[in-house]
Amino acid sequence: MTKNEMFNNDYNFCFIGYSDPDFDNYIDKSNYVNGKPIYFLRNISDQIFDSSVSVGMFICAECENITIQDLVLKNNFPGIYLLFQISSK
């Protein structure tokens, strides 16, 4: 998914994922929510995302030790997705 813009919608961009195949998407930072890029991250660890980055929506799939602080996310429900793979055990 590239070069899409969403403005002032109740949901703007919706992502639903429950397992590894659902997380296998290409959503780059050329996609915008209310003029700010969508961050779609997968399998990252030990990073901080704060007010120094411009974020319209934050999706982190199977990430570990991620700090999210001082972000301003408006007109987007939910603005932050933290996803993990559900085990079939």
The whole-number pLDDT of residue 20 equals 54
Tokens 């996803």 belong to residue = 83
For tokens 């007109």, the residue is 75
Q: Structure pTM?
A: 0.75
DSSP output for 21-38: HHH-----TT-EETTEEE
pLDDT at 18: 55
What length does the chain have? 89
Amino acid letter for position 32:
Y
The 10s digit of each residue's pLDDT in 37-80 is: 989 888 899 999 999 999 988 888 888 999 999 988 877 767 88
Separation CA 21–CA 18 (nearest Å): 8
Higher pLDDT, 36 or 87: 36
Looking at residue 21, its pLDDT comes to 56
